Each structure stands twice: as structure tokens, then as C-alpha cells.
Amino acid sequence: MTTNQSSARLVKSKQRVADHGEVFTPNWMVDNMLDLVKAESERIDSRVLEPACGSGNFLVPVLRRKLATVEARYGKSDFERRHQALLALMCIYGIELLADNTVECRESLIEVFTGYLNAKPSDDWHRAAERVLAANIIQGDALSMTTAEGEPIVFPEWGYLGRGRFQRRDFRYDNLTQRASFQGTLWDHLEESEIFTPTKEFPAMTVEEIAS
């Protein structure tokens, strides 16, 4: 591969670089960076947010690492393997300014997830993953913390309750970013539930209910 061919994979167009500073991180660099936080990048329920996710250069490798953990721990139980795989996907978040990158990121994550489960587009697992990523991968501006429509970014906090049921609570992104500001203050001793109020809470849901 020539230098020009290699560079072309990192830049979609010179105009996009000029307008948005869009340059993609090469795979070898992504892997090296993720190895710096290896344990967290491989933990199934660690929440990973990429505030300028592009087409998924960081998030796709993170999902692959999480799914490798799923396979190692739950590979002998198809029920748990599938639900833990969905939890791994649920814990991946992204914000992207450009619409085509947002769509590409979702599609890339769907491809990895459904490939692992061998799920077809008509399956509940495929449709549930689409619903999850529609909520988790947002087109918007991470600096202003608003969507492309100018509304506050809202992210779902997913949790696995066991026995095939998931919990969802929605929080405003600008509220979530305040968590770190309470560390070392008078409010540090408080539970998060005493400070942060979800904008919406959902009853426990099965995969079929998420898909619908």
C-alpha cells in the first residue's frame, strides 16, 4: 500500500478536513490506545463514550473486545451469551457531528453484533440492537451537548437485571457530565440517585419488548 493510499483511508475529503477537522485514527493506533485501558475496554458493562465517534473507529474495536469477554465467560450458555452481548452493545455510546458518519457508525456496530449472534434483520435481536444504537449513537455536537435539531442530548443508561430483562433510564448528557464535578466536594458522599434525576424511566423490558 502506498503512502497516498494509506492517507486516503484516514481522510474522506480535503473539504471535510477543512470544514470539520475530520481525520480518522488508524487501526494500529486505536489498538494501542485501547490497550492503555485494556481492562475497561474489555469489561462487558463498562460504559464507553466517544464524543467524536466518526464512523466507529474506536467503538467497533471496543465492541469486539467486549464480545470476546462475553464469549469467554458465557459461551457455554446461549441464553446468557446473547443477553450479555446485547448489554455490551448497550454500554457503547457515541456523538458525531456528521450525519453520514453517524449512520455508518451504527451500521458498523450492528454488523459486528449481529455477526456474533448470527442474527438476521427479521430477528428480535437485530431489531433490538437497532433500537439501542438509535438511542446510543447520536448525531449532535459534543461541545454544545445538543443534537442536530438543537435539543439537549439524552442518553439511556441500560442495565441487565438478569433472567432476560433490561432496565433503561434516560439522562441528559449535560447532567451526566456534572458527575465528576462533585468529586472532592461536600456532595461527594451522596449517592448518584440523590443528585441526578432521570428524565424518563422505563419498566423492565425483554429483548422482544425493546425490539418492538
Q: Quote the pLDDT of residue 176.
A: 79
Tell me the C-alpha distance between 172 and 177, whole Å: 9
Q: In whole angstroms, give the CA distance from residue 212 to residue 208.
A: 6
142: closest CA among 52, 21, 57?
52
Query: Running DSSP on this structure, what letter comes out for residue 103?
Result: H
Looking at the chain, the whole-number percentage of residues with pLDDT higher than 90 is: 76
Comparing CA positions, the residue from 62, 49, 165 lying closest to residue 113 is 62
Asked if residue 182 has pLDDT above 80, the reply is no
Cell of 118: 448470527
Contacts of residue 79, Cβ cutoff 8 Å, sequence gap at least 6: 164
φ and ψ of 189, to 5 deg: -80, -15
Could you write out the DSSP letters of every residue in 48-81?
Answer: EEETT-TTTTTHHHHHHHHHHHHHHHHTT-HHHH
Say whether pLDDT at 154 is over 70: yes
Q: What is the pLDDT of residues 2-61, one digit of tens each?
A: 434 444 444 555 554 444 455 678 899 999 999 999 999 999 999 999 999 999 999 999
How far apart CA 120 and CA 138 sit, in angstroms, is 24
